[in-house]
Each structure stands twice: as C-alpha cells, then as structure tokens.
Amino acid sequence: MNSTVEYTAPWVIAFQDGEHRLLRNGSIVVEGDTVVHVGRPGEVRADRTEHTNSIIAPGFISMHTHMQESPADKGIAEDMEKRQFWGTNLIEILPPRAKALTVDDMHACTRVSIAEHLRTGATTVMQMGVESDYVAKKCEEIGLRAFIGESYRSGEWYTADGKNVEYRWFDDDGRGAFESALNFALQHRNASGDALVTGFLNPSQVDTCSEELLRSTRAAADEHDLLMQIHAAQSYSEFHEMTRRHGRTPIEWLDDIGFLSERTLIGHGLFLTGTSWTNFHGDDLGLLSRSGTTVVYNPWVFARNGIVMESYDSYQREGVDVCLGTDTTTQSMLLSMRWASIITKVFEHRADAGEARDVFDAATVRAADVLRRPDLGRIQKGAKADLVFWKTDTLTMMPSRDPIRTIVYYAEHDDIDRVMVGGRFSLENDVVRGLDEMADRRALQEAAERIWEGWPQHDWANRTMDEHVPLSYPLFEQRG
C-alpha cells in the first residue's frame, strides 16, 4: 500500500467538467503515481500533509522534440537568412551538424535536454530521433514521461552547390531502419499507461520518405494502434519539391496515399495552401481537419527565422487540432506558449487572439487527448501525478490575479520550484534527479566546439563556421 501525501496550495489548476478550473486554496492528494483527490484541504485523510505556497499546475506536454541533438543548434542557427532555400536552415545547417555528432555527444545532448524540459515545466515529451534506447533509459531513470519514435526515412537531402536541394536515396528505401523503429515501438507498447516510455512511429520527413515506406507505416500504425508523426509543410523548398514531384502539395500527397488520420501528427504544417508562404490555392486545412490530423506548432524556432503560422487561431477555426512543441533550441514550453500567443495576436491584429487559456490548453489537456491519454495534462482524480509547483512570491509572479496569464505571459523558468512526474520529484531543491548538470553542460560545450571546429569537413563549400555564420561582432584585436 502506497502512502498518501496531501499538498495544499493557494492555487491549484484543477480539472472539472472537461476543462481547467482555478481552485483557490486547494489541495491535492497523491498516492503512488496518481492523483487520488482534488478539492479543499483536509477533505480526505492523508498520511502526510505538506502546505505549499505554490501554484500547482499540470506539467506541459511538448509534442515535438529531438533531445539527442537539439542543444547543439544554439549559436549556429540564428540570424542566417538562407535566401536560396527560402529561409530554411534545414539544408545547410542540419546535415553537417548531424554528421559531426558522436554517440557520446548525443548522450550529453539528451541529458541536457531532459534537464531543460523539466526546468521549463514539461513533464511529457514526444521525442523523435536516434539513440532511442539511451533516451528511454535516461527518461525512466530521471523521470520524464516520453513518447519516443525512432526516426527512419528512405533518403536524405543535401546541397552540393548551395543552390539546389538534392536527395540521396538509400538502397533499402529505409526498410531496415523502419523495422527496427517498429520493434522499438512494439517493445514500448505501454498498454496500461503506467510506464514512463511509450513508442510511436516517426517517418522523418514527407520529402525523404517513399510512398511505400509511408504506406507501410500507416499499416503498422493501424495494426498495432500506434501514433505517427512526420515533418511536413515545414519549408518552401519541401513544398516546391512535392509539387514538382507529384503536382500535389505535401498535405494533398499525404492524403492521396492514405497517411492522414486521427493517429497522424504533422510536425510544423506551416506551408499550406491559402497562406502567403505558398501563394498556392487548395484546401490543405480542410484535408487536415476532415481526417482528424493534428498539427504540431513550434513557434519559437520558426519565428527566429521569420516564419509564423498563418494563423494558429484560423487553423483551429477550420477544425484543425493544433498542439505545441519545442523542436530545436530553446526546448521550453514556456517560450512555445508565449510565442504562439504573441505571434497570433500580432498576425491577427487582435489582443484576444491566441489567448492564454488556449495556448495553456494546447500545452496540456489538448496534447494529452491527441496522445489518447485522458490521465495526462490535467489535475483530477485518477490522473497521473505530473505536476509543476510554481513559486508565487518572485518578481515575475507578483502580483498574480490570474495564474494562467501570469505563467503564459510573465513566468521565467526559475519560477518553477519543483516538478513531479508520476508521483516522484524529478526536479527538487534545484537538482534534477540523478544528473550532474554542470558536467553535462561542459560535455555539451566541448562537443559544440568540436562541431564548430570541424565544420569545413561537412560544409558543401568547406567554409569555416565563422565564414558560414559570422559572430555578431568581430573579435577584439590585441594591438601593441
């Protein structure tokens, strides 16, 4: 029999009648990995009671992350206008960076990423990449709920001349990687939902996967009841490639081959018909909406390149479910919610667009529904105890009339006091359980310096990192 702990708090973001509710002077009782009571203090007997001065809120769910590599993008992906590739840095930055990362580097990135997610309030992530066994092991040890899809594809893009995007196709069409990814997903079926790790399928990108590979993915997802996420409509070069190959938009083509469904997630989904990005007519939003497909918006990394969703609110008005993720760096759902909200207000010219409650829903309960996990993203009896304890007495959190708007518009990551995943604290007393974060950050710095140093080897024009991505100011010259 587990012991029960009651946490009282000035605010609990509780769940009632299908939506979040603000519970003033509330209490929750946790037993094992589950919330067993939400209400007034002392309503039920607990073995121990802890009176907190916190806002207790559900942890965030990042629906799109690449933990084994994302931190390595910091410092090389900003302020770069890749005009030839219509503003995406996928073509010139990603392949050299991916080739330079060693297995040890990816492990260091993973540990830093887990800490970054927890410290910014995420308790669940949807992870896509490689080294999945290591990522799964670390998530279980430290305590981060993770849906993990091992990436696979039929080929890869590259540029040989800085002008054209070319594709190199693998001899086996990516079948070997698909089989091992499917194996990983089946090993982590997690039918009960009690394990921290759950598998899903991640065919990497719409333009690097063959029709056969995607048809096999859909068949396996149907047979084994698995979720699927693919990057699509993420750049103009990809949009143009798909219309050139098939005379169809990326979304139309995915619909043609039967890939869109209620278990399908589209990473990004920005370059759609009817947007200024494509200047191409059609009904991509209708196809997404009618098929029940979810779009995962990663606002910060795209806004950094001058690209926004047109618009977060209008997708939803068309009936498309939009969730939020973090993608590369910074891996912060706080930034994701804030930028989704602000960009939408600016785009729509309306203060009531991209409301705090809407982005908070997207980061919690709506994401959980897409994951088909009614026990996540909310604080109610029977839900998993995935909780963030926010401070209430800091510069940024005071005064607080409305805890949701305070969190969405003002909170900083160090306003987070503690993070609980499945009833255990993964972040407490400024320590992420089981990690030596300073050592991990040093390992990341060393890895990054090696990547910058070795950049000419992997760059199509053998440019140094400083030639490719100049520093903000010239280095100071020592004279005399």
Binding site for Zn ion (CB under 5 A): 327
To the nearest 5 percent, what fractions of the chain are helix, strand and coil? 35, 25, 40
In the complex with Zn ion, the residue whose CB is nearer, 73 or 327, is: 327
Q: Which two tokens stand for residue 17?
A: 């009648």
DSSP state for residue 377 in the 8-state scheme: S
The minimum distance between CB 78 and Zn ion, in angstroms, equals 17
Nearer to Zn ion, 327 or 386 (CB): 327
Minimum CB–partner distance for residue 429 and Zn ion (Å): 33
Residue at shortest CB range from Zn ion = 327
Rounded (10°) CA dihedral 353, 357, 359, 363: -170
Q: Which is nearer to Zn ion, 313 or 327 (CB)?
A: 327
Contacts of 336 (CB under 8 A, 6+ apart): 62, 297, 298, 299, 300, 324, 325, 326, 359, 363
CB nearer to Zn ion: pick between 288 and 301: 301
Quick one: 38 or 367, whose CB is closer to Zn ion?
367
Nearer to Zn ion, 13 or 265 (CB): 265
- From the list 139, 7, 174, 6, the residue with the least C-alpha distance to 62 is 139
SS3 category, 183: helix
Task: Give min distance, CB of 204 to Zn ion, in A.
Answer: 9
> What is the smallest separation between the CB atom of 27 and Zn ion, expressed in angstroms?
39
We find the least distance from the C-beta atom of residue 70 to Zn ion, in angstroms, to be 9
Paired tokens of 260: 């869109």
Minimum gap (Å) between residue 330 Cβ and Zn ion:
14
- Nearer Cβ to Zn ion, position 33 or 327? 327
Q: Are strands 155-158 and 166-169 parallel, antiparallel or unpaired?
A: antiparallel
Q: Which C-beta is closer to Zn ion: that of 232 or that of 448?
A: 232
State the minimum distance, in angstroms, from the CB of residue 191 to Zn ion.
Answer: 27
How long a stretch of residues is the chain?
A: 480
The DSSP H or E segment spanning 178 is helix 175-187
Q: Cβ 242 to Zn ion, closest distance in Å? A: 17
Burial zone of 170 (CB within 10 Å; 0-12 exposed, 13-18 middle, 19+ buried): middle
Q: Show the tokens assigned to 245.
A: 């190959």
- Backbone phi, psi, residue 163, to 5°: -120, -40
Tokens 């009282």 correspond to 8
